[in-house]
A and B are shown apart, each in its own frame.
Chain A
């Protein structure tokens, strides 16, 4: 099964650039990436630029409305994601626990829709 691990961060609680904590976090991300690759589960993964760069769009009554900012004004923002292919939720949760942001943010684990009938 494929799962998306959505990384939600609270910028206020994240280590600041240039501090040893920041280095440790980046090292943790590197180690997580390497482990996911080595174990053959990584499908894709990206980090997102800061929430101040976000633009939201919706169509109402056939009119495109464009807004500055993210979809939801919350303290924790979507900061990146991984897509992994593993046998079950327990395996997905084990990889989610490798993500350094789990220590100061939240990782949401969601199965991907399966559009690919094997029959």
Chain B
């Protein structure tokens, strides 16, 4: 009786310990295995098998001194078995040789952190942008496939297929688990940071209702990369941008449910700690005198939260600087709005109208054009533009914000 109870208690303790280890260290263990095996799917499989063994062994013989080291050793042995069983190909033989030497190294306490290599493999430009994001969330952040599917509003089997296709491409196309060479670093880092920022904006738009808040995952990734590769101004810029934007998340929708631009937000709702941290990191980045798009975007986010209101002339200048890195119509649109807010609505409107060819089907263009028509006193044209922007609004908060603007057009007006 007592023996059975002890065994049950052991099993429960083992399950609890395993759950904690996998939650905190799965990405790190996976990165070490994947870097050695050069095969993410195989790394996931053997780590899963090692976790199943852990349940039995830890329950019976108690926790090993380093549960992470134990899992890694067992996973490596399982990988060796698998590669030996399969009539392995050349790549498998290379992995096997490396694994055998790694498995023989006895120091389970020292586990290298290969997550930077894992992140660069997951965000490789040879993968589709959406797959980069999904794979990073699955492997580095440890989201489950259903959680990743929900983040994209995808069906679970569809997301499962996307993830396995991406893992197969990494293995079969020979995408390396490697930090890129200095010559390739800027472009490859930009791909990584863009993927992380896409995770952030997906979470920002969805709101914090989900079990795994994507804004927090993106911030976690930003901090992780910053720790693994300290002193890179663009990494700092991306992290600062997420902290600064994230700081006003609670204020972005008013009590009536309408979206609010930073200028109209209740500053008391801004997260002061995030704001301070974001500003400090941005200042550190800028002091390195190597400007880049993420630092500029962070500076724009910072200027939008200036005291007592947004610093529009500075924001307009920053969009001009951003244009040199990213000559896209959207950057130009945002620059035009900043210019109008800074006091030159006629020139801003002319810039917006000139973008009609590339952006007229883009809802933010319609909303910006409406606002600038209103600013230049063209109430009727503004009303028509607002109606189009409302019809195409991506969500209720945005639609309500625009409806209030439309109502304000007719509202006070010139006193008759």
State whether A114 touches B89 (Cβ < 8 A).
Answer: yes
B174 touches A92 (CB 8 A): yes
A31: interface (CB < 8 Å)? no
What residues of chain A lie closer than 8 Å to B84, measured between beta carbons? 119
Contact A119:B91 (CB < 8 A) given known A90-B178, A92-B174, A111-B173: no
Whether B329 is near chain A, meaning CB under 8 Å from some CB there, is no
Which listed residue (B124, B126, B174, B178) contacts A1, Cβ 8 A? B174
Q: Which of B64-109 contact A (CB under 8 A)?
A: 84, 87-93
Residues of A contacting B: mostly: loop
Contact check, B88 vs A119: say whether CB atoms are below 8 A apart: yes
* B160-200 Cβ-contact flags toward A at 8 Å (1 or 0): 00000000000011111010110010000000000000000
B176 contacts A89, C-beta separation under 8 Å: yes
**Taking the complex as formed, is A47 at the interface, i.e. its CB lies under 8 A from any CB of chain B?**
no
Number of inter-chain CB pairs below 8 Å: 46
B90 touches A118 (CB 8 A): yes
| Closest chain B CB from A117 CB (angstroms) | 5
A102 CB, nearest partner CB in chain B, Å = 15
User: Closest CB-CB distance, B334 to chain A, in whole Å?
Assistant: 32
Could you list 5 A-B pairs, sorted by A, with CB under 8 Å?
A: A1-B174, A89-B124, A114-B90, A118-B92, A119-B93
Q: How far is the CA of A87 from the CA of B93 in the complex (A)?
A: 14
Q: A88 to B89, Cβ gap below 8 A?
A: no
Chain A contact residues, CB within 8 Å of chain B: 1, 3, 87-90, 92-93, 111, 114, 116-119
| CB <8 Å contact, B178 and A88 | yes
On chain A, the residues within 8 Å of B93 by CB distance are: 118-119
Complex contact A118–B88 (CB within 8 A): yes
Interface contact B89-A118, CB-CB below 8 Å = yes
Residues of B within 8 A of A92 (CB): 174
A89-B87 contact, Cβ under 8 Å, with A118-B93, A119-B93: no
A1 to B174: give the CA distance in the assembly, Å: 7
Q: Which residues of B contact A1 (CB under 8 A)?
A: 90-91, 174
Instruction: Write out the residue numbers on chain B whose beta carbons fall within 8 Å of the beta carbon of A88.
Output: 174-176, 178
Smallest beta-carbon distance B182→chain A, Å: 13
Contact A116 B176 (CB under 8 A): no
State the CA gap A88–B38 with chains docked (Å).
10
B88 CB contacts on chain A under 8 angstroms: 117-119
Are B89 and A117 touching (Cβ within 8 A)? yes
Which residues of chain A have C-beta atoms less than 8 A from B90's C-beta?
1, 114, 116-118
**What residues on A are CB-neighbors of B126 within 8 Å?**
89, 93
Q: Are B174 and A117 in contact (CB under 8 A)?
A: no
